[in-house]
Amino acid sequence: MDIFWTKIMPECVSAYPWGREFSGKMSAKKIEEGISARVKKMSDDEFDLFLSAVVMQSSKDQMMGVALTEKIQFFRSLRK
């Protein structure tokens, strides 16, 4: 089980109006695809706030270092 997609991300996006459509009961693949689609549509400012929320929630759930860096790079690659 990928804790990032099934625990951290649903908690992280719960504050967004669209975040209610993601829950930890969904498959990691479905959460990743849905959030990836949302990230691609974000403005630069929204994306910066989103990344900040990801970092804070990840830190709270003890995910740091290389594992977190890989996820941040993934989100940034969606914006190119």
Per-residue confidence (pLDDT) for residue 72, from 0 to 100: 95
Which one, of 66, 61, 57, 63, lies nearest residue 35 by Cα? Answer: 57
More confident residue, 8 or 25: 8
Using one digit for the tens of pLDDT, what is the confidence trace for 46-57? 999 999 999 999
Average pLDDT over residues 28-33: 90
Mean pLDDT of the chain, nearest integer: 91
Q: Token pair for residue 77?
A: 């690659």
Q: Tokens representing 39?
A: 């990230």
Number of Cα atoms under 13 Å in the Cβ half of residue 67:
11
Residue type, 3: I
